[in-house]
Amino acid sequence: MLQAAIVGMGRWGQVLVESVQGRNDAGLRFVAGATRTPAKAAAWAAAKGIRLLPDYAAVLADPEVQAVVLATPHSQHAEQIIAAAAAGKHVFVEKPFTLSKASAEAAVAACAKAGVVLALGHNRRFLPATLEMKRLLAEGALGTVTHAEGHISGPGAFEWQEGMWRADREESPLGGMGAMGIHMIDMLINLMGPFAAVKVESFARLSSHVDDTTAMLARFVSGATCNFATLSLSPRYWRVALFGTAAILEMRGQEQLVFTPLKGQGWIRDFPKTDIEAAELAAFAAAVAGGPAYPLPLEDAVHGIAVFDAMKGAAASGSSHAVG
């Protein structure tokens, strides 16, 4: 059983802990942790059997802790990953991986040098519907995919108040991209391969703090095109669609696929709801134990941040930016 520390005990840090704590099949148990406001988390941590440590340095110095799970502000990730690697701790980090391609590459290099596992929390890779989309693509059921559409939105910015780190433009460039949109970028990389170039419109239409509307038109290295949007003042919504010469394949929500062929009968298939947070942490623990590699290659993790970098540049310049 991998002994882990949770770093950051806000809403999402607690979701991660509660997905696996007390489950013998998870392969991971949280034994310690640290957070910016310990008083707010003290009762919850005690109820979960988590020793509350004073700071991140104390977490890394704790001999019982074999791995850290980072649910911290975006700008802290790179430095925290590098420090964990230096301390010989395996790392699971929430998205976005980092806020620049250079820092993402530095984090990957530090973990490779230390020989520790590094995993990134793009949990939609663990959806049964995603795995089925990958299978159908591999079988050639769609023919040549010429275009992809992605959309992820939610109401997060309604709660982002001045003084909160998510309401800081430095922590949340392009508004909902860090909290939500980066998940769809990873999904598109997972299904369609690397991006070549992006054009972006991103602005605060209603929010007084950060952008609430971000839309992108992009091209993949394959030659296929893409349009994408993320809104942070909206009901929750998830959709990804692939348009091929033989069929269209669409994920509506996270548990339904719709297949529309050029010829013949289409279908709609529903999938069971899956605890994707438990699945990603279990996969991290299995990779640490010498089992299958974590199913998000680190080159994809770095490329996702390269796309994010290019999106920021494109939004600022109003022109197309190549993805480095």
Per-residue pLDDT band for 263 (boundaries 50, 70, 90) equals very high
The per-residue pLDDT for 324 is 87
Task: State the pTM of this model.
Answer: 0.94
In order of start, what are the domains of the chain with their CATH numbers?
A: 2-123 (3.40.50.720), 127-322 (3.30.360.10)
Give the integer Cα–Cα distance in Å for 287 and 284. Answer: 5
The per-residue pLDDT for 156 is 82
| Cβ-Cβ contacts under 8 Å for 16 (sequence gap 6 or more) | 6, 69, 71, 94, 121, 277, 281
320 touches 116 (CB < 8 A): no
- What are the pLDDT digits (tens) for 44-89? 999 999 999 999 999 999 999 999 999 999 999 999 999 999 999 9
Give the integer Cα–Cα distance in Å for 92 and 69. Answer: 5
Q: Is the pLDDT of residue 309 over 90?
A: yes
Q: At what angle do helices 182-192 and 128-139 cross, to 10 degrees?
A: 30
Per-residue pLDDT band for 167 (boundaries 50, 70, 90) equals low
Scored b (16 or more CB within 10 A) or e, 16-52 reads bbebbbeeeebbbbbbbbbbeeeeebeebbeebebbb
- What are the pLDDT digits (tens) for 187-197? 999 999 999 99
204 touches 212 (CB < 8 A): yes
Tell me the C-alpha to C-alpha distance, in Å, between residue 252 and each of 152, 154, 279, 280: 11, 15, 21, 22
